Every structure is written in C-alpha cells, then in structure tokens.
Structure 1
Amino acid sequence: MDPAVFDGAVAAVALLAGPEGRLLYTNAAFTRMFGARQVGLPAREAFADPDGWRFLSVLDEVRATGRARQVTGAREPDPDAPAQSRYFVYSCSPVTTQEGDGILVVAMDTTTETFALQRYRALVSAVSVMIWVVHADGAMEEIVPGWERLTGAPWHPRADTGWYAHVHPRDRDRLGACWRDAATRGAGGVFQCTFRVRAADGSYRHLSTRGVPVLREGRVAEWIAATVDIEDTWRAQLRERLLARVATVTGQSLGEAFGEVVKIVVPELTDACLILLLSHEEWPLPEHAPVTARRVASATRPGLPAPPALLGQSVTVTRKVREVLESRVPRTFGIPVGGPVPAELLPAVTERWLAASGATSVTLIPLVVDDIVLGYAATSTNGDTPTLGPTETELLREVLHHAQQPIRKALDLQSARRTALALQRAQLTRPPTVGGASLAASYQPASSANEIGGDWYDAFLLPDGTLVLDVGDVVGHDLAAATAMTQMRNMLRALAYSRGPGATPADVLARFDEAAEGLGAASFATAVHTQLRRLPDLRWHVSWSNAGHPPPLLIPAHGGPLFLDGTQEDLPLCVDLSVPRSTHTRVLGAGDTLLLYTDGLVETPTAPFADGQRRLARAAARHRRAALPELLHGLQSLSDHRDDTAMIAFRADSPESP
C-alpha cells in the first residue's frame, strides 16, 4: 500500500506496521486533528498522550483478532490553550504494507454533529419529550429517556410483554390499531396516537406519540417516535369542552335538565352518574324529621349493564350523606374488589347495580344552587377504571356547579308551575249536586314543566235550577295563560248568572266578547258554554254555543257515541265581535252522558285531530257503563300529557238509578 494516496484526503489517516505498531505515515488532516506525531516511533511512544491508552488498546485488539474496529472518541482541550473538546469517530482496519502486517487508521471529526445531538437531547428533555426507536425485529430502544421517570418502571424493550402493561386497558386496542395501520402503510405511513399511561403514583396521564419510518435503500428499516406528556393540555381542553356543553343544557324540568347534565359527564369523567334530589326543600335539613332523596336522572358508559328504571328509586338520607351535604365537599368511598357496596348512600336497586357492574368507588358531590343544597350527584368508577383522584373530582364538581344556570331556570319554571297549578285548582271547584243527574270533572296538568296552560271547566246552577257547564282553553302555556284563564272563567260565570236563564248560550258568549274587549281583558281562547234544563220525564234539554272548541261528545245509553258539531262552527272568543254566534239544542235521554273536554285529550303532534276523536269515541263506548269518575279516569289514558287536559261529564239519571 502506498500511503501517499491519502495526502489530500479530508479524513485523518495514519498507517502503522510491525509487532510494535511503528508509525509509518500520517497525513495533514491527521496532524490537524491529533497534533504532530514522529514517524518511525512505536505506537506506544508516538501516542504517549494521557488518554492514549484507549487508542492503543484498540490497536492491540485489531492486531490480535485480525478484525476491524470502529469507535468514537474525544480530545480534551490543551489546558494552556483552552478550546472546546473535539469529538471524532475512527476505524482501525488490518492491511498489508511493505513492512508486513499493519493497521490503517481513518478518523473523522464529528464535533459539529455531536454538539447538535447534545443540544437536541437537551431540548427534548427540557420539554418532557421521550424519543424512542422501534427496530425491524420489534425491539424498542429509548434514545431520550423519560419512561422510568413517568411510570416508575424501567424501560422495557418489548411493547407486547412489558410496555403495554402500563397503558390504560381501554386504550390498548386503539393504540395497537394505530400502530398496525401505520405499519401497513409502510414508507408512507405515520404513527400517531393519544393514549393513557399509568404514572408512578397510580394515576393515568395522557401521552401523545408521533412516529415516522426511517428508510434505508427504499425500505423501512426502523421507526423513530416522539412521545409528549399532554395531560395538562388535554385536561384544559376537556374542561372547556364540558363547560361549553353544560351551557347548552335546555331542560325545562329538573329531571330533564339533570338528564342532559349526566350525559355530559359520562363517560368523559366517570363511568356512571345519577342525580338524587332531596324531598325537603328548605335548608338546613331538619335534625329529627326523616328526609329522602329521589333519583331523577342517570347515565352509564357503554359496556356496563343498563341502569335500573327511575321509578321507585329513593333512599333515606343517612348521617353519612348528611355530613357530605352539610360540608358541601365531595367525598369518595372505595369499594374493594368483590367487597360490599357502601350501604345507605344510594337506593337499594342502585346498590345492586353497582355490585353487578363491578364498581370500584362511589363519589358523592353535593348539588348547590343559590346556597341551597338540592341533593347530590353520585358517580362511580367500574371495572378497570381507576378511582377518581382530586383533579377529576374537582372537575366533576366544577361541571356540576356550572349547571346552575339551567337548573335555576328549571327551578323557576317549577315554582311558576306550582303557582299556576295552585291557581288552576283554586278555580276548578267541585261540581254541584244536581237532582236527576250526576256530574264529575277532571283536570290533568301536562307532564312538561313549562306546560302549565289555561285549560278549565266550570259547573254551577242558575237561580231557576238551570245547570251551566263550561269548558275552555286559553292559548298559551305559562303563568300568564293561567291568569287569563282565571279572568275569563270568572267573567263568563258572572255574565251567565247575571243575564239569567232567558239568555241563550250564544247571547252569553257574545256579551263576553263585548265585555272582554271593553275591559282590555281579551285573550285568544276557545270555549263551549252549555245550559241544561230538566224535563219531567227524566230527559234533559241541552243548549250550547261553541266558540272554536272541540265539539262535545254525546255518549247515549244505547247506540254509538256522537260528536255534537252543530250546523256551523263559530269563531274563538275575542276574535271578531261583528260575527254572530249560534246556539244549538238537543234532548238527552235517560242514561245519556254528555262529555265536555279540551284538546289535550285528543290532539297529538303526530296524528290528525280526527284520529284523536275516533280514539275518544271508541274509548267512551267501552267505558259507557262505568261511573263518571271511572269513565274520566279511563279516558285520561288517551292523552300523551304534552298538554293539560280538562274534562267535565254530565249523565242524566236512568230509571234504574238509585
């Protein structure tokens, strides 16, 4: 070998030969990197530097084994001429020279690359990034460490036998699917996944990993990935998302509002959540009187058994629950594996459900609105879900606290509903006792909290014994409608009584239109005003005027039911005073029944009005022999309870009547 060929090489080159490794040659690059060396000296004299023993040991190994070696090294600056350390990589290869067996040394300065790598490692360490490589055989190597610091466990070179054990059980399938998808796409694939890893303290933290393939000769040789702890960012985004969803809750009743809230926190924060409201509406709770809590809403995550029905779910508030409510601080009760569920916190059916669903903990969170404790939320973790920590519990409490606005709205509607219902029932007096006939009336409020409408009925006797029956419906479903109903009912009653039996039903309604218009009390409403007079032979003469209301239903003692439509339809009340009203008449036979009702009994949003009338007629025929209270009860099942319903029924005595 002629070493002169290396004179202009960029790499540092040296040639040694003989048993002592005598230095035969160095080029200019070698001199710049390692300093001048005297040619002709044995290696131990030519490289007598304090750290030269490392280099000499490599030469001895190559000479003894006959195999090349490649190693990295560093040179410290001269204490008399301070400068930064220099890093290099060199190879020692056996060669044949004119003087016998020798070793060719080739070295490259890697200082720039080494410093760049050090800076990169320092940077990713500063931002809590872990860097790791997946080799072709599936082995994993951690380049920038962080795994042990996070999990408390040493890094494991295999994901399937050690690494996956720290991943949340419900994230493992998704993590594996992301990896298989990226591997299938090969050179064009990118591995990206967010998953939870169990930290050293037992909690789970969200990590985000992104990996890209490393190609050699056009093929994927390995994958390099970066993993970042995003727990704080993830939790902040979750909080914003949940609070934004709570702001959209629109439930009109407490049950509806809380029903929306529990679906927000499940499964984002907990596996199951149920809401229990106190039966006692004042605070603080009485010391010696029993107080119960009734479940009004619940939700469970997919994969758990369905929760029991809401009906009949209540529990007596025990001292343990009182302590939580009075402190207004959430409290978590752990459940040992296979152990009993804490008793007297929840309804018995819920306790059985918790046991069946593998609950591991129950957390009680007081529900406070305007400094009043309404009840409490009970959440559970089930199966492999870890028990809620302080951070998760506080976020749950905050989400429930931010539900105050829709809950307060529901409470206001509930209060208005109570007021309206009290007003309704105060006006809907018991029908009078009438000789020769029987009467019964019924009022059923709507099931929705904001449906507190203006349906009403009335029954009273005029001085000559004429029986007046009224039924009506004021447009609207709020306290204003209930108030207008009260005014109209009282006004119609006064006009009918003052004008006496000589006034026809049409006269009374026409006079009502004039009075309401003049007094500024006009409201859009429908009504049927009816007068009944007893005849000597057990029959009754009935006359009525219909102001845009569903027609009365005649249920004869014999024959099919018949709607009394009259010969024309009059306008609703308070619409047009110039249009005359009409009176219709009919004679009721002994045992015949007359039913006045409001549209909530027959009208639904999904079917024509005529279908509702047909259902009413068929049901009335089935119940015609029942006493009037039982008849009204049977007909009440026709309503879908979207609207309130008022009914009043009159039945002429038959010869068989007592």
Structure 2
Amino acid sequence: MDAVEPKLVPEVFDTAVVSVALLRGPEHRLVYYNDAFRRLFGPRTIDAPAAEAFADEQAAPFITLLDQVYEDGLARQVTSPRASAGTAPGAPGPRYFVYSCTSVASRHGRGVLVVAVDTTTEVVAAERAEELSQQRQQALERYEALVSAVSQMVWLLRPDGSMTELVEGWEDFTGSPWRPVMDQGWLELIHPRDTARLVQAWADAVAGPPAMFEATFRVLTASGEYRHVRSRAVPVLREGRVAEWIGATADMEDEWRARLRERLLARVSAAPGQHLRGVFAAMAEAVVPDLTDACAVFRLPDGDGQAAEDVIATRVASAARPGLPALPALHSQSYRVGPVAREVIDSRLPRLLTFAAGHPPDGVLPDVSVRWLAAAEATSLVLVPIVVDSAVVAFAAAAGCGDSPPPSAADIALLTEVLQQAQKALRDALEHQHTRRMALILQRAQLTPAPSVPGADVAARYQPASTTAEIGGDWYDAFFLPDGTLALAIGDIAGHDLTAATAMGQLRSMLRALAYNSNRPATPADILAQLDRAAEGLDVAPFVTIVLVHLVLRADGWHAVWANAGHPPPLLIPADGPARYLAGRRADLPLCVDPDTGRSVHRRTFGAGDTLLLYTDGLVETPEAGLTEGLDRLAATATAARHLPVEELCDELRRVGDRRDDIALLAFRPRI
C-alpha cells in the first residue's frame, strides 16, 4: 500500500535478525542498512546510487527489481544465490538469499525497503541430508513465503508475549490501533467462527517443535466487513531455543473468494438436469455452509407470477449447516408471497434483510420457515431471484444465523452468480417437466373412463411414472362393439414422453376403428393382425405389446375370447381360489415385428365374482427383481385382496408396482 506521509523509521531495524536496507529516489541511493546487512554483504557507501553501492556482477537483476518496485509501487521478492562480502560464518562458496522489495515512505522520501534473508544454512543442510535439489528449493520457498507479505504487515512476537509491528499496516487495514499484546481486545477483531481455531493453532505451534506457523482467518476491517487474511510466522532459534517469532500477515480475500467461487460454481454446475426438485436441492446444498448458514428455494408457478395479483410460492428444497435446528419437512410449504418477495420477483434483484437475532419479519416466508429462522437465531436473510430464459422461476432465501455477520455486497453477488450457474440444469429440468405435463395431458385425454356394463363391474387405473423419462407408453381402453360385445384392451408402446403418448393415441384410435368397423365377425386375433399390418405400414411405433379381449354375456356366464401380442398374461382372480395367469401354449410376437405372423385365440368362461385383470409391465417388473418374482408378488397380492370391490382392488394392486414406470390396470368382474 502506498504511504501518503512518512511513517517508516528505519532505525527500528537496527537490532533485527534479518538484513534490512533502505534506498531512496529513482537512483535508489542507499540511506540506511542495519548490522545484519553489513555482516552479510560488507560495508556500503551511504547515499551512493545502487549501481555504485552494489556494483558486483550479480547486482543487475536486483537493480532492475528496484526500478520496478519504485515505478509501480508493487512489492516483489526473488530467490537468488550470490557471493557474500561480509564476515558471516560458513563454508566458502555461494550463499542463498530471499530478497523482498517494498515501496515505502520515510523521512528520506519515497523509496524501497529491502529485506534479505540468508537461507544458506537451510539449503546446505537439505543438500547434505537428501542431496536433492528439490530440498534446496523447498527451503528457499519456505522463507520466500514468509517475506512475501512484507507489503502488508510484518510483526515480531517476543517470549514475554509482547508484539511489535515492524512494517505497519494493521491500523489502516482494521481501523484499530496496533495492540502490543495478543489479548482479548486483539481477538475481538477476529471473526467469532475463527477465534477458537486460531488460538488453538497458535498454542499448538508454540508448544510443539519449532516449525512454520500458518493460518487463514477473517479479520474485521475498517470498512466494517470481514476479510480473509493469511498469517505466516517462523521461530527464530538461539542456542537451540525459540528466541522470538517473526511473521507476516497479508490480505488474501481476493484469492480466497476466487477459490470459493471456482469451487461453488463447479459444485452447482454438476447438478443433474432430469428432476427439477433435485436441481433446486443441489443449488441449496452448493452454497451451504461456505456462503451462507441456510438456504431454501421457493418455486414459482409457470409464468413467474408477474401478471397475477397473488403469487403462490412453494418451498421445494432447503439445506442448513450442522449445528442448526432440523429443517422442517417440505410438505405444507406453499404460501402467498408478501411485498418483499414480490419486489424481488418483479425487480429481479436480490434484497437483504437484517433483524435482531431470532426475530425475522412476518410474511417474508411461510410461517413454518419463519418459526425455524427464529429457532436458529437468524439475523439476516437474502432473497435472490432465480431467472431462466428471462423468466423468474424461483427465488432463494439465504439466512445468516447466530454470530454470522450479514453478507457483504460481494457475498450477495457471489451467491447470485452461483445460483444462476445452474441455468443449463434448470432449463433441462423445466423442459423435462413441460414434456411430462404435455405427455400426461395427451395420455389422460385418451384414457377415457370405463363404460357402465350391465351385470358386471369394470374399473381402470393409470398411474404415471415418478420419473419424467418413463411417461407415455402405457394405455388401456374399454368400449362396446356394434353387436354389444364388450372390448377390453391394454398395451404398452416402446418409447416415452410425447413420442410414446402420440403413438399411443394413434394406435388406440386405429384399434377402435378396426374393431368397430369390421364387416364380418372378427376375433381379437383377426383385429390384432390387421392392426399389426396398419401400424407397421404407417410406421406408428417401433414395438407394441397388447392384449385384446372380447366379452359376451350368455346364459352360462361371461364368455371371453382374447389374443395376446407379446404382453404380460392376463390374471384370473377366482372368487374362491388363488389367482392364476391365463397364458397360452406359446407367446405371440408383439406388433410391428412381423406383420405376417399368425395370431392365437384363447377362450374362457367367467362366473360371478371372478375377476379378469389386465395390466402393464410396470406392475410386475422392477430393476431389482426378475419378472417371475414380480408375477408371483402380484398373484399373491391379488389372492389376498380378491374380496375387495373391484375399484378398491385396483387401488390395492397398483401399490405393488414400481413407481419409476407407468402402470395401467383394467379389471372386469361379472356380477351375474
């Protein structure tokens, strides 16, 4: 930092253990050097330009470094070997130094402060121990790291606990005077979350074997905001004992924030885009606890609600750091947004609210969320709009709790950026949700209610898959033919989403037309053969399974005739016996495989109380179990529930299926 008035008194370095020199002006005239410098480099002419004071061959890069620091005021350091002209003990040969040059102002005017640390002993010791150049570089870098922060604050800690600021900067950074001892007053400037960790780390360093101390923590600055700093210190040994610690503290907020930003953006970018709630959950979890103590995401209705008087938002995801109260369940979390949230939605700008600990304002969030904020001793709340393709689809509420300070403008900007980073995943999830909705609308429009059948009960159920990717292929139908025959059909079309739903609608209409308009009595096998040729020729679907049943009431009961094109077999649930499958001697091929294949006809008579169940594979197939196990489970459940009315029976049986796939059921039970 550039000094605006002379502050540095070079004589403070007279007894310093490191070599220090001060040069002034553009010629870098030498105006001061301490005894440690003289012992290492020999006497130099005071007020001589650097080109004369340091005239040896190795000085040219050093003078170039001085020019750069004097010109732009930026501190620099370099590690370099050079010959020593002083009386320092040691074997002959090159010595190794770390030079740090800092722009300063003193009574001599503007100039450059040079700190040189002799690292020869460490380098030679490493070479002798390992005989590897890597050890030498590590030793040099260890000391280079120490003096790299000279442009900020350098301090000396003595055994009695007193502290001296060798290079000033603490008061400018914090707005508080330098304290000569690390007491409670000094610790009050440290972030409450970092105090205990910092104190323990320092205690461990002092109590353990001599080694470099390094810690990163937050300090309250003169602007009222916390910034991350890094402190490094090394023990100075005399006669094998620690005589003092010399350390440096540097502002590293920009570096810390850049690393945090990179980490958070990578985390939220990895959110999968299949399920909207999953994306919102990943967004909330990405910012906790690094950026906020708790975060909840509230979904808005389609169209972001800007045209509606009342906007209903629903909490769909939340996360909180350890140590806070358990989060409330996600159910019953819809509420009518208040003026604050509405302002965030309309303006598309974040809004910060601060309040007394545990006293959040009413109406900003649902009552259950407000009660949680009170229990968590929340002190701040940031509402951030989540925008996808110019539409506000949700907003996030990030809370600071306990001793956490309110977020700074930089914190809010980073929070907003991280939440917006999920654009692609959100867009994909929204597209999947829209596709799911359209497929369901189309599919349900085709799945008409079961007709009223004299002398029998008919019930149907359709349960969409819990995953968007599995919706669209299953269907059922029940209708009367011109001669009074009841036709029941159930099937499954390969494919999902709108493609399968559209093909289902076409195939259903074709089946109805072929069955209804037949010029001669046609069996289900005849109709499926015609449907197979039409579907193949018109390229309606790549693969279709279907069961078609004709039911006619006669004097001795209901007579059933059916054909099965590759579909799971119908299930007979007798009124007084175990359920069993009605499988033919051989399975016919699905439709759209070989239109010229022959189709089999099956016949059966049903009595009063018997139930014929048609179903799709989602009821019996799961990734975890085989088809046989699923069929056995369905038959056992049907047997146990056969006494239920047919509507209740369907509700009971659909619970057997895999929620990850579509399920369609069609049940027929004669009453006479």
TM class by smaller structure: 0.7 to 0.9
Tell me if 1:571 matches 2:578: no
Which structure 2 residues correspond to residues 361-440 of structure 1 after superposition, within 5 A? 361-440=380-459
Secondary structure in structure 1 of the residue aligned to 2:448 = coil
State the match for 1:291 in structure 2.
311
Give, in angstroms, the shift of residue 400 of structure 1: 2.1
State the match for 1:625 in structure 2.
643
Q: Are the counterparts in 1 of residues 494 and 541 from structure 2 also a CA contact under 8 Å?
A: no
CA distance in 1, matches of 2:365, 2:159: 55
State the match for 1:120 in structure 2.
114
Tell me if 1:598 matches 2:592: no
Secondary structure in structure 1 of the residue aligned to 2:285 = helix
What 5-or-longer segments of structure 2 have no aligned partner?
1-13, 18-28, 37-41, 47-52, 54-85, 87-98, 103-111, 117-143
Q: CA-atom RMSD, angstroms?
A: 3.2
Tell me if 1:479 matches 2:498: yes
Over 3 Å counting, the alpha-carbon distance change for 1:164 and 1:516 in structure 2 is same
CA distance in 2, matches of 1:116, 1:428: 81
What 5-or-longer segments of structure 1 have no aligned partner?
1-68, 73-82, 91-107
**Amino acid of the structure 1 residue aligned with 2:284:** V
Over 3 Å counting, the alpha-carbon distance change for 1:162 and 1:611 in structure 2 is farther
**Amino acid of the structure 2 residue aligned with 1:612:** G
User: Which of the numbers 556, 563, 576 marks the counterpart of 1:545?
Assistant: 563
**Could you tell me the TM-score, scaled by structure 2's length?**
0.76
Over 3 Å counting, the alpha-carbon distance change for 1:86 and 1:426 in structure 2 is closer
State the match for 1:192 in structure 2.
214
Larger deviation: 611-620 or 454-463?
A: 611-620
State the match for 1:582 in structure 2.
600
Larger deviation: 355-364 or 153-162?
A: 153-162
User: Which of the numbers 292, 301, 305 marks the counterpart of 2:321?
Assistant: 301
User: Which of the numbers 514, 521, 525 marks the counterpart of 2:533?
Assistant: 514
**Amino acid of the structure 1 residue aligned with 2:614:** L
**Amino acid of the structure 2 residue aligned with 1:301:** R
CA distance in 2, matches of 1:177, 1:508: 83
State the match for 2:80 in structure 1.
none
CA distance in 1, matches of 2:387, 2:159: 58
Larger deviation: 125-134 or 209-218?
A: 125-134
Give, in angstroms, the shift of residue 128 of structure 1: 4.2
User: Which of the numbers 549, 563, 573 marks the counterpart of 1:555?
Assistant: 573
Q: Deviations over 1:372-393 (max 9, x none)?
A: 2223211111111111121111
State the match for 1:313 in structure 2.
333
**Amino acid of the structure 1 residue aligned with 2:114:** Y
Which structure 2 residues correspond to residues 485-524 of structure 1 after superposition, within 5 A? 485-499=504-518, 502-524=521-543
Over 3 Å counting, the alpha-carbon distance change for 1:116 and 1:622 in structure 2 is closer
Q: Deviations over 1:250-292 (max 9, x none)?
A: 23232222111111122221111111122363653323xx331
Which structure 2 residues correspond to residues 335-346 of structure 1 after superposition, within 5 A? 335-338=355-358, 340-346=359-365
Over 3 Å counting, the alpha-carbon distance change for 1:379 and 1:463 in structure 2 is same
Secondary structure in structure 2 of the residue aligned to 1:336 = coil
Q: Deviations over 1:356-379 (max 9, x none)?
A: 111111111122222222232111
Q: Are the counterparts in 2 of residues 129 and 144 from structure 1 also a CA contact under 8 Å?
A: yes
Over 3 Å counting, the alpha-carbon distance change for 1:571 and 1:328 in structure 2 is same
**Amino acid of the structure 2 residue aligned with 1:269:** L
Give, in angstroms, the shift of residue 458 of structure 1: 0.8
Secondary structure in structure 1 of the residue aligned to 2:188 = helix
CA distance in 1, matches of 2:360, 2:519: 71
Give, in angstroms, the shift of residue 173 of structure 1: 4.1
Q: Are the counterparts in 1 of residues 439 and 501 from structure 2 also a CA contact under 8 Å?
A: yes
State the match for 2:469 in structure 1.
450
Q: Deviations over 1:137-188 (max 9, x none)?
A: 554433223222222223334446343332222233443454455456524x
Which structure 2 residues correspond to residues 630-645 of structure 1 after superposition, within 5 A? 630-645=648-663
Larger deviation: 563-572 or 478-487?
A: 563-572
Q: Deviations over 1:540-560 (max 9, x none)?
A: 222222222222222211111
CA distance in 1, matches of 2:355, 2:595: 73
CA distance in 2, matches of 1:331, 1:86: 55
User: Which of the numbers 522, 538, 544 marks the counterpart of 1:525?
Assistant: 544
CA distance in 1, matches of 2:447, 2:16: 101
CA distance in 2, matches of 1:501, 1:260: 61
**Could you tell me the TM-score, scaled by structure 1's length?**
0.77
Q: Are the counterparts in 2 of residues 540 and 589 from structure 1 also a CA contact under 8 Å?
A: yes
Q: Are the counterparts in 2 of residues 186 and 220 from structure 1 also a CA contact under 8 Å?
A: no
CA distance in 1, matches of 2:671, 2:524: 24
Percentage of matched positions with identical amino acids: 53
State the match for 1:147 in structure 2.
170
Q: Deviations over 1:64-109 (max 9, x none)?
A: xxxxx9999xxxxxxxxxx86466769xxxxxxxxxxxxxxxxx96
Q: Are the counterparts in 1 of residues 149 and 250 from structure 2 also a CA contact under 8 Å?
A: no
User: Which of the numbers 189, 195, 207 marks the counterpart of 1:172?
Assistant: 195
Q: Deviations over 1:504-548 (max 9, x none)?
A: 3233223322222222224212222222222213x2222222222
Give, in angstroms, the shift of residue 437 of structure 1: 0.8
Give, in angstroms, the shift of residue 650 of structure 1: 0.8
State the match for 2:8 in structure 1.
none
Give, in angstroms, the shift of residue 602 of structure 1: 2.7
Q: Deviations over 1:22-47 (max 9, x none)?
A: xxxxxxxxxxxxxxxxxxxxxxxxxx
CA distance in 2, matches of 1:408, 1:225: 50
Over 3 Å counting, the alpha-carbon distance change for 1:214 and 1:282 in structure 2 is closer
Secondary structure in structure 1 of the residue aligned to 2:517 = helix
Secondary structure in structure 2 of the residue aligned to 1:633 = helix
State the match for 2:60 in structure 1.
none
User: Which of the numbers 210, 220, 226 marks the counterpart of 2:248?
Assistant: 226
CA distance in 1, matches of 2:628, 2:180: 75
Over 3 Å counting, the alpha-carbon distance change for 1:598 and 1:119 in structure 2 is same
**Amino acid of the structure 1 residue aligned with 2:655:** S
Over 3 Å counting, the alpha-carbon distance change for 1:603 and 1:133 in structure 2 is farther
CA distance in 2, matches of 1:165, 1:177: 16
Q: Are the counterparts in 1 of residues 619 and 656 from structure 2 also a CA contact under 8 Å?
A: yes
Q: Are the counterparts in 2 of residues 337 and 360 from structure 1 also a CA contact under 8 Å?
A: yes
Tell me if 1:135 matches 2:158: yes
State the match for 2:264 in structure 1.
242
